[in-house]
Amino acid sequence: MSKKMHAAIITHYRQPLPVMQPVPRPAPQPNDVLVKINAASINPIDLKTMHGGLKFLLPYQFPLIIGSDFAGTVVAVGQNVTAFQIGDAVYGRPRKNRIGTFAEYLAVDQADIALKPRNLSFDQAAAIPLVGLTSYQALHDLMALQPGQKVLIQAGAGGIGTLAIQLAKELGAFVATTTSQRNFAHVKALGADRVIDYHTEDFATVLHDYDAVFDTLGGRALEQAFQIVKPGGQVVSLSGIPDGRFAAAYGLPRWKQGLLRLASHRLTRLAHQAQADYHFLFMHPSHTQLEILTRLIEQERLHPVIDHVYPFSQLNQALTYARAGHAHGKIIISFDA
Please check the confidence at residue 20 and state whether its pLDDT lies above 80.
yes
Q: What is the CATH number of the domain that holds 321?
A: 3.90.180.10
Mean pLDDT value across residues 268-293: 97
Query: What residues contact residue 17 under an 8 Å CB cut-off, 6+ apart?
Result: 316, 319, 320
- The closest of 118, 52, 42 to 333, measured between CA atoms, is 42
CA dihedral 35, 37, 43, 47 (to 10 degrees): 90
Number of separate domains in the chain: 2
Is the pLDDT confidence value at 337 over 80?
A: no
Q: Please indicate, yes or no, whether residues 213 and 105 belong to a single structural domain of this protein.
A: no
Residue 21 within a domain: yes
> 92 lies in which domain range?
4-128+304-334
For residue 125, the model assigns a pLDDT of 98
- Whether 153 has a pLDDT exceeding 80, the answer reads yes
Would 285 be classed as within a structural domain? no
Helices (H), 253-314: 254-263, 265-274, 287-298
- Residue 178 has a pLDDT of 98
> Do 94 and 227 belong together in one domain?
no
Among candidate residues 238, 264, 280, the one where a domain is terminated: 280
The verdict on 271 and 311 lying in the same domain is: no
* Residues 260 and 196 placed together within one structural domain of the fold: yes
Residue range 170-190: mean pLDDT, rounded: 97
Question: Cα separation of 179 and 185, whole Å?
Answer: 11
**Is the domain of 235 the same as that of 326?**
no
Mean pLDDT in residue range 257-280: 97
Q: For 318, list phi and psi in degrees, rounded to 5.
A: -65, -40
- Residue 223, pLDDT > 90, answer yes
Asked if residue 298 belongs to a domain, the reply is: no
Q: What is the pLDDT confidence band of residue 66, given thresholds at 50, 70 and 90? A: very high
Are 90 and 73 spatial neighbours (Cβ–Cβ below 8 Å)?
yes
Domain check: are 268 and 136 in the same one?
A: yes
pLDDT band for position 227 (cuts 50, 70, 90): very high
Give me the pLDDT at residue 32, please.
Answer: 98
Q: Give me the pLDDT at residue 49, please.
A: 96
Query: What pLDDT, on the 0 to 100 scale, is given for residue 93?
Result: 98
* 294, part of any domain: no
Looking at residue 336, what is its pLDDT?
87
224: in domain = yes
Using 50, 70 and 90 to split pLDDT, how confident is the model at 272?
A: very high
Summarize pLDDT for 24-62 with one digit per residue, the tens: 999 999 999 999 999 999 999 999 999 999 999 998 999
Average pLDDT, the chain: 96
Report the pLDDT value the prediction gives residue 7, as an integer from 0 to 100: 98
Q: Tell me if 146 is assigned to some domain.
A: yes
Average pLDDT over residues 74-100: 97
Residue 80: other Cβ atoms inside 10 A: 10
Q: Same domain, yes or no, for 37 and 9? A: yes
CA distance 140 to 132: 11
* Mean of pLDDT values over 257-285: 97
Residues 15 and 87 in one domain: yes
Q: Are residues 204 and 323 in the same domain?
A: no
Count of other CB atoms within 10 angstroms of residue 279: 21
Q: Which of 242, 265, 280 is the last residue of a domain?
A: 280
Say if residue 262 is in the same domain as residue 322. Answer: no
The answer on 160 and 37 residing in a single domain is no
Domain contains 18: yes
In a domain, 230, yes or no: yes
Task: Look at strands 19-24 and 330-334 and give their pairing.
Answer: unpaired
CATH number at residue 190: 3.40.50.720
| CA separation for the pair 23, 3 (Å, rounded) | 9
Segment 215-234 shows an average pLDDT of: 97
For the segment 280-290, the average pLDDT, to the nearest whole number, is 97
Co-location of 274 and 137 in the same domain: yes
**What pLDDT was estimated at residue 1?**
46
230: left (phi over 0), alpha (psi -120 to 50) or beta: beta
Q: 11 vs 6, 283, 288, CA distance in Å?
A: 15, 25, 34
pLDDT at 2: 59
Rounded to 5 degrees, φ, ψ at 234 are -125, 135
Q: What pLDDT sits at residue 326?
A: 87
pLDDT at 46 (0 to 100): 97
